[in-house]
Structure 1
Amino acid sequence: MSHLVVIGAGIVGLNCALSAQRRGWRVTLIDRDFEGDRASHGNAGGLAVSECVPLSLAGLGLRPLRWLVDPLGPLAIRPAHAPRLLPWYRALRKISQKGNFARIGDALAALNQHALDPFMAMLAELGLSGDLHRNGALSVYETDGAFLRDQPSWQFRRERGVRWREVGREELHALEPGLAPVFARAIMIEDWAHIDDPRRIVDRLRHYLAGHGARLVTGEATALVMAEDGGAGARLADGTVVRGDRVLVAAGAWAARLARTVGDVALLESERGYNTTLPHSAHRLSREVLFAEAMFVATPLSVGLRIGGAAEFAGLQAPANYRRSDALLALSRRYITSLDERDNHKWMGHRPATPDSLPVIGRSPHSPRVLYAFGHGHLGLTQSAITGELIGDLLDDRPTAIDLSPYGIDRFRRGGAHQAARPVPAPANHGRTRDAAIRQQEPAARTGSTP
């Protein structure tokens, strides 16, 4: 039986391990703390299959500068980390160049179009199908001006198969009576879904894998190793070497460090997200709500109403600044009525972000024994199960459902992340006509406003 070593037991690594087990592979999982907190536990719980708009500063004018001078605004860079962010930022600037933006959007849409079915199959296998709620999401606007500014990004999504419709004031109140009556416009995102509790899925999936023979090794992987007999594995901080036939790096924001040990380069940053969960307020909403101007989200989970968002670049070691959670909670008081804030819980997690918004999925160009599945940014939960399916096909040397070239780690050496997104087949059942406004002005960024 072939043996896969998976580094990282977050939602992506676990789905890849599940896909390998289904195909008859023996699996070993390595993680520093299997029970500990991680980005997979504290995300907003949304299956954001509509999110095919790449992160970009184009079209935002001076707003990013205003955010940066506000230490509790939707975007923050800690001064000590700014010099290390420069290569990532340079690559980000290239995303909005003509042609790059649309190709990256196509690549995101190609993943998201295939995301929901394998996710539902995973939940069914775990006995958690009832945890999924397919009642859409609402993006709400206080002003007509903000709504009109976002129209190019909504058109961008529609051209990639995303189903959405406008919602008026009366319907919005009927759908979500817990929202304050301050919103002039709204968009219903038809195919969005949310789950009851991200942590429950992670824990159930880990126990399921162990119950079906997966070995769990607690330790910090510090390097990838290539065996003379053709195998591959990982060296741990205590010197232990865990060997298999293939090794998969699914270590989230820490993955680039491991890739470097075999000569692969990835532009990867921790885009730190914050939230507060209110255990007694989940009933205030019935679906995920995206507050487009304030740039935060609120999701009714089984563990409470989770209010989160923001993007902080401070590296992997800086202590959390939970005043950012407080600021998000303060915003929510303006927009959601009658919140019960007793027993609230604050959280910070490391989203693994690439400058082109695309994950790294595929084989290492240095060795077919090394595979990568990381860098999903805001879409780790959404894209976790389809990533597992794609990795499973690579393990079996089978054709993948979509072209993986846009997601290869070699894109960072080909001249920048902006060259990653080669054209991919268009999602089915929609036209390819581009609106002239999209070609002239790219959609605004979705900084901090998605899971």
Structure 2
Amino acid sequence: MTKSRAETQSQKKNGQKAVVIGAGIVGVNIALALQDKGYDVTILDRGEPGMGASFGNAGGIAVSKCAPIAMPGTLMNVPGWLMDPLGPLSVRWSYLPKMLPWLLRFVAASSKSRVEQIATEIAVLLNRAWEDYDPVIARAGLSDAVFKKEGAIAVYRSEASRRDAEYEIDLNRRNGIKIRDLTKDEVLDLEPGIAPIFSCGVLDEDWGRVLDPYKIVKGIYQHFLDRGGEFKTADVTDFVYRDGKPRAAMTSTGDQITFDVVVVACGAWSKSLAKRLGSPVPLDTERGYNTTVPYHDAKLSRMLICADDGFVLTPLEHGIRVGGAVELGGLVAAPNYERAKALFAKGKEILPKLNAEGGTEWMGFRPSMPDSKPVISKSPRHSNTFFAFGHGHLGLTMAATTGRLISDLVAGNQPPVDMTPYRINRFSDFTGF
């Protein structure tokens, strides 16, 4: 139940002011968790809360997605990616020189030994997702009306493509993920509206989804405000130092917003601020596309993962969202909505009753680290500075856990997991680009 303002005002404060830069799903969860530790919290963002990647993501609580993006054999696929501008992963030629250092680290992370280690470290966070989300959901009044826990189906066009996925599925199972194999008939029994073009599938039993990603962010954000939190529209460009520590955020308008503690959690835009704070990091952006259409006659009861083509279909409150794939092209280039159209055409092949009438196309920026692990870290340079970004496809999934872990780090408490794998300086050779 949401607390009244009187209850909010009676909360014990520790006298410390925390600033969270970023009002996406990760930022609002951090802000709420810091409130629980007694901090007076202000969120800063250049735009409206929840309007970045948190607005248009696929809506999955992907607790079974512990395999990194870079998998064994990735190097063999790179030439094909570069030649197919509408494929599951593409790189804009104009951005390639700037992206090359990130790509080299991405390929290096794809060795089998690294993949095994990375998957285990991602699974540690994913295995906490529902445990950390459930109290947030309950307190913000979101409950089952907007969160669903009915699993997701990954489908395969042939037995051969299912065998190709065996290593990733086995990797997930070895890290505690519940996955059940499905025959073609079992797939169609669960989702009778899809075309009978798949030979088999798997059910990720613990996977969840939300009915509206934006509503989740706004619900948690409103709960934060109701408990006495503050939001300011501000484009943070630099920091003011006193006694060797950052003590104020400087905005593009010249304002200074003071703090005792600062958390950088502004997704794909975190890279420049981290560098300003003395921690250059190989963060880049995966540009993701989708189309959301009203239901019309199409029916889908759970999230459908089209494993062969690298995209998903999600039943949301206001329609079906068809999206995914990855375009490496930075933050500046104009969107290429041909990618959204190509994904929708594939989605219509799978769900024939999809109708584009009344649909909307969208492109967003997923903040991505080359090893697929987020940065959830105290600064190695400043004791009052913390970082939380780089969640890639898993920002919605990991947001509550990130909030819990960052609040422990800020308060000087021992987090419930080893934080070493998520430190910002794990790429010790990186000096910035």
Whether these two folds match at TM > 0.5 is: yes
Residue in structure 2 matching 1:367, options 364, 367, 382: 382
Residue type matched to 2:24 in 1?
A: G
Which residue of the other structure, out of 55, 59, 69, is the alignment partner of 1:45? 59
- Aligned residue for 2:388, secondary structure, equals strand
In the alignment, structure 1 residue 258 sits paired with structure 2 residue 273: yes
Q: Which moved more, 1:212-221 or 1:155-164?
A: 212-221
CA–CA distance in 2 between the matches of 1:61 and 1:376?
Answer: 22
Query: Which amino acid in structure 2 is aligned with residue 9 of structure 1?
Result: A
Q: How does 1:414-429 map to 2 (within 5 A)?
A: none
1:447 corresponds in structure 2 to none
Q: CA deviation at 1:32?
A: 0.5
Q: Deviations over 1:176-207 (max 9, x none)?
A: 01110011010000110111100001112222
What amino acid maps onto 1:202 in structure 2? Answer: V
TM-superposition CA deviations, 1:344-367 (whole Å, max 9, x none): 010000000000000000110000
Secondary structure of the 2:277 match is coil
The answer to whether 1:343 aligns with 2:358 is yes
In the TM superposition, 1:240-389 aligns within 5 A as 240-281=255-296, 284-389=299-404
Q: State the one-letter code of the partner of 1:70.
A: D
CA distance 1:154–1:24, shift in 2 (3 Å) = same
- TM-superposed CA distance for 1:96, in Å, is 2.4
1:406 positional shift: 0.5
Question: Which is further off, 204-213 or 315-324?
Answer: 204-213
Change (3 A) 1:367 1:68: same
Which residue identity lines up with residue 331 of structure 2 in the other structure? L
Structure 1 range deviating more: 313-322 or 90-99: 90-99
Range with bigger deviation, 97-106 or 156-165: 97-106
- SS of corresponding position for 1:140: strand
Q: How does 1:131-280 map to 2 (within 5 A)?
A: 131-228=146-243, 232-280=247-295
Residue 121 of structure 2 corresponds to which residue in structure 1? 107
Q: Is the 8 A contact 1:134 1:194 kept in 2?
A: yes
Residue 69 (structure 1) aligned with residue 104 (structure 2)? no
**Percent identity of equivalent pairs:** 39
Q: What SS is found at the alignment partner of 1:409?
A: coil
Determine the C-alpha separation between the residues in 1 that align with 2:273 and 2:398.
22
Alpha-carbon contact 2:24-2:51 (below 8 Å) kept: no
For the 8 Å contact 2:26–2:402, the answer to whether it is kept is yes
Q: Say if 1:79 and 1:129 are closer, same or farther in 2 by CA, change over 3 A.
A: same
**Structure 1 residue 409: deviation in Å?**
0.6
Distance 1:194 1:283, change over 3 A: farther
Question: For residues 246-270 of structure 1, what are the alpha-carbon distances to aligned partners after superposition, in whole Å with 9 as ceiling and x for unaligned?
Answer: 0000010010100111210110111
Say which is worse superposed, 225-234 or 335-344, in terms of deviation.
Answer: 225-234
Shift in Å, 1:66: 2.5
1:54-93 to structure 2, matched below 5 A, reads 54-56=68-70, 58-60=72-74, 62-93=76-107
Q: What SS does the aligned partner of 1:280 have?
A: coil
Q: Counterparts of 1:227 and 1:350 in 2: how far apart (Å)? A: 34
Question: Which residue is equivalent to 1:123?
Answer: 137
- The alpha-carbon deviation at position 73 of structure 1 amounts to 1.3
Moved more, 400-409 or 277-286: 277-286
Partners of 2:66 and 2:120 within 8 A in 1? yes
Question: Is the CA contact (8 Å cut-off) linking 1:282 and 1:300 kept in structure 2?
Answer: no
SS in 2 for 1:99: helix
Q: 1:133 to 1:282 in 2, by over 3 A?
A: farther
**Once the 2 structures are TM-superposed, how far is the Cα of residue 6 of structure 1 from its aligned partner?**
0.5
1:73 maps to amino acid: G
Aligned with 2:383: secondary structure?
strand
Q: Say which SS state the counterpart of residue 202 (structure 1) adopts.
A: helix
Shift of 1:90: 1.2
Shift of 1:227: 2.9
- Residues in 2 aligned to 1:303 and 1:68: alpha-carbon distance in whole angstroms: 35
Deviation, 1:74, is: 1.2
Q: Structure 1: any 5+ residue segments left out of the alignment?
A: 418-451
Change (3 A) 1:337 1:372: same
Change in CA separation of 1:223 and 1:9 when aligned onto 2, cut-off 3 Å = same
Provide closer, same or farther for how the CA distance between residues 413 and 176 of structure 1 changes in structure 2, counting only shifts above 3 A: same
Kindly tell me: are residues 181 and 261 of structure 1, through their superposed partners in 2, closer, same or farther at Cα, counting changes over 3 Å?
A: same
Q: Which amino acid aligns with 1:136?
A: G
Q: Tell me the alpha carbon deviations over residues 11-35 of structure 1, each in whole angstroms, 9 at most, x when there is no partner.
A: 0000000000112110011100125
Cα distance between partner residues in 2 of 1:169 and 1:99: 34
* Partner residue, 2:7: none
What RMSD in Å do the two structures reach over aligned CA positions?
A: 1.8
**Matched AA of 2:220:** L
Cα distance per residue 1:349-406 (max 9 Å; x no partner): 0000000000000110000110000000000000000000001111211100101110
Secondary structure, aligned partner of 2:278:
coil
Partner of 1:439: none
Separation (CA, whole Å) in 2 of partners of 1:235 and 1:228? 17
- Give the 3 Å change call, closer, same or farther, for CA 283–21 of structure 1 in structure 2: farther
**Contact preservation (8 Å) 2:305, 2:313:** yes
Q: Which residue of 2 aligns with 1:20?
A: 34
Mapped partners of 1:403, 1:206: distance in 2: 28
Tell me: CA distance 1:267–1:161, structure 2 relative to 1, closer, same or farther (3 Å): same
Amino acid at match of 2:56: G
Distance in 2 (CA, whole Å) between partners of 1:333 and 1:343 is 15
Deviation of the 1:279 alpha carbon: 1.9
Partners of 1:405 and 1:25 lie apart in 2 by 25
Distance in structure 2 (CA, Å) of the matches to 1:36 and 1:385 = 15
